[in-house]
Chains A and B, each alone.
Chain A
Amino acid sequence: AQSVTQLDSHVSVSEGTPVLLRCNYSSSYSPSLFWYVQHPNKGLQLLLKYTSAATLVKGINGFEAEFKKSETSFHLTKPSAHMSDAAEYFCVVSDLDTGGFKTIFGAGTRLFVKA
């Protein structure tokens, strides 16, 4: 069965410093992986996705993630945090499971950005 683990429930960075949000997954097939962002009182918005093409995926707002099969990881990074990046981030895995394809959301990582 597939699963996804976001290793930090909260991450705090200073504006202008790098961001690293960690995600590990478990999958028995060949997963598709996504990162979504949720700003307060808003729905989720897709940041980027990996679907078996290039392992380094670039997304919106300067974010990128690298699919590492050997480490079963899909960590989200950004070189320089901006105040507007403060939000909750969800790692999502979609894969073939018993009963068909399933999409599983991680528990979320809340990013705080200090001035």
Chain B
Amino acid sequence: DADVTQTPRNRITKTGKRIMLECSQTKGHDRMYWYRQDPGLGLRLIYYSFDVKDINKGEISDGYSVSRQAQAKFSLSLESAIPNQTALYFCATSAITSGRPNTGELFFGEGSRLTVL
């Protein structure tokens, strides 16, 4: 079984609909992230959470919201989906590392492909 599981893997929806993407992890990591991947743009950070009570906006949070229901669960919501939110979405986790921050490995789920018509 995958350590970081995303559901659904594929979703087609219509403009204006509410969509939730879910992520669960069995790695025991405190830190969880949502990224968006678009061709030619790499991955961009939407939201991140360093523990259950800590939620932070990333560089492209407009139009998105998140919920950290438990240490192992982090969901991403699109309240009213629009076509330019069509993308591949990745959940990732990382452990707290000693020394300098942000030097730890990110562990990714297999992605959720969202198409908004």
Contacts and interface: CB of A to CB of B under 8 A. Distances in A.
Nearest to B38: A107
Nearest to A91: B42
A105 B109 contact: no
A9 B40 contact: yes
A107 B37 CA distance: 9
A105 B43 contact: yes
A44 interface: yes
B102 A101 contact: yes
Grouping DSSP codes into helix (H, G, I), strand (E, B) and loop, the A interface class, with mixed when no group exceeds half, is: strand
A27 interface: no
Pick from B35, B45, B100 the residue with the most CB of A within 10 Å. B100
Interface residues of A, number: 24
B103 A103 contact: no
B102 A106 contact: no
B4 interface: yes
Given A94-B103, A101-B102, A102-B102, A43 B109 contact: yes
B110 interface: yes
29 contacts: A32-B100, A32-B103, A34-B105, A36-B106, A41-B111, A42-B111, A43-B108, A43-B109, A43-B110, A44-B92, A44-B106, A44-B108, A45-B108, A49-B103, A49-B105, A51-B103, A94-B102, A94-B103, A95-B102, A101-B100, A102-B102, A105-B35, A105-B42, A105-B44, A106-B42, A107-B40, A107-B41, A108-B40, A108-B42
